[in-house]
Amino acid sequence: MSKKVVVLGSINVDTTYHVDRFPQPGETISAKSKSSAPGGKGANQAVAAARSGAQTAFIGAVGSDSEGQYMLEALKDNGIDTRHVTIDKYHGTGTAAVTLDAEGQNDIMIYGGANQAMTPDMVDDIDDVLDGADFLISQFETPQEVALAAFKKAKEHNVTTILNPAPAHEILPDLLKVTDVIAPNESECALLTGIPVTDEDAMLKSAEYFQKQGVKHLLITLGSKGVFYATPNAHGLVPAFKVHAVDTTAAGDTFIGALSSQLENDLSNVADALVYAQRASSLTVQEMGAMPSIPTADKVKAALAEK
């Protein structure tokens, strides 16, 4: 039976500038090419969940502009329920300017627009999508107060909450109290806990830090080194798949969305679900663009079957 996943988060139109290298301060360089694609951390995560077979609904906001219509269609084309995407008449749809170098690394500038204008009252009527849901996911490209209101509602429906604290900044203590799983990368984890991610001992101390705040489960993505997980019952490191990355945009988002499509609510299968999520992410970085590069379940399973 497929998982039911709800994502609260950002919707952006990504414009990517392809360059040989990043410019130095004050330097002007030429882009080799430019491309646009649907994106935003929230939208990417929802698409990743949907393409891996989860029944997916989205909570967010777009402007009353052509970009907003474009993004709504992109979500609907992936079978995502968009009834709770608000059309904001006063703020434009979020946009991201991505600079991508020849090594596949990126720099991103984001205009929040309608994403940052979201307010807690926008989640007053989300009980219909939370009813029977397995997971509610949120990130930090929308206001934390909105995530807090939604997570509180999720707890009323016994929905497991997943917080992807990216981009990282100080977290509302009340939000951590209603977060079941927190999934930062290593730099975000260090910023949030004050504990540099140097070895397993440091990561276990990070898990203890979050457990004291009320978060039972920690997942730290470590790039090419894999993913560390710590639950009340177990901890370990799931290695990454070695691939040649051409564009790392949406790698983390694919990981979160794909994970939610496989994970049991009690995290009893966390190691297996992490292998699936890692494989999905490894496929994403081998393709260009954010949303266009996110793989389907068939592609992930075929890649997992390869020796």
Catalytic positions: 253
Contacts of 197 (CB under 8 A, 6+ apart): 186, 187, 189, 190, 203, 206, 220, 222
200 annotated as ligand-binding: no
Annotated binding residue 249: yes
Residue labelled with tokens 């793989």: 295
Structural element, H or E, at residue 47:
helix 41-51
Q: Is 40 annotated as a binding residue?
A: yes
- Which residue intervals of 56-134 are DSSP H helices? 66-77, 127-130
13 is in an annotated binding site: yes
Q: Specify whether the CB–CB gap between 217 and 229 falls below 8 A.
A: yes
Please indicate if the annotation marks 12 as binding a ligand.
yes
Q: Tokens in use for 190?
A: 């260090």
293 annotated among ligand-binding-site residues: yes
36 is in an annotated binding site: no
52 is in an annotated binding site: no
Q: What is the DSSP letter of 272?
A: H
Q: In Å, what is the CA distance from 190 to each residue of 77, 173, 198, 274?
A: 37, 17, 10, 21
The verdict on whether residue 223 carries a ligand-binding annotation is: yes
- Find out whether 164 is annotated in a ligand binding site: no
CA gap 83, 248 in Å, rounded = 30
307 annotated among ligand-binding-site residues: no
Q: Residues at the annotated binding site?
A: 12-14, 40-44, 141, 185, 221-226, 247, 249, 252-253, 284, 287, 289, 293
Q: Residues at the annotated binding site for substrate?
A: 12-14, 40-44, 141, 253
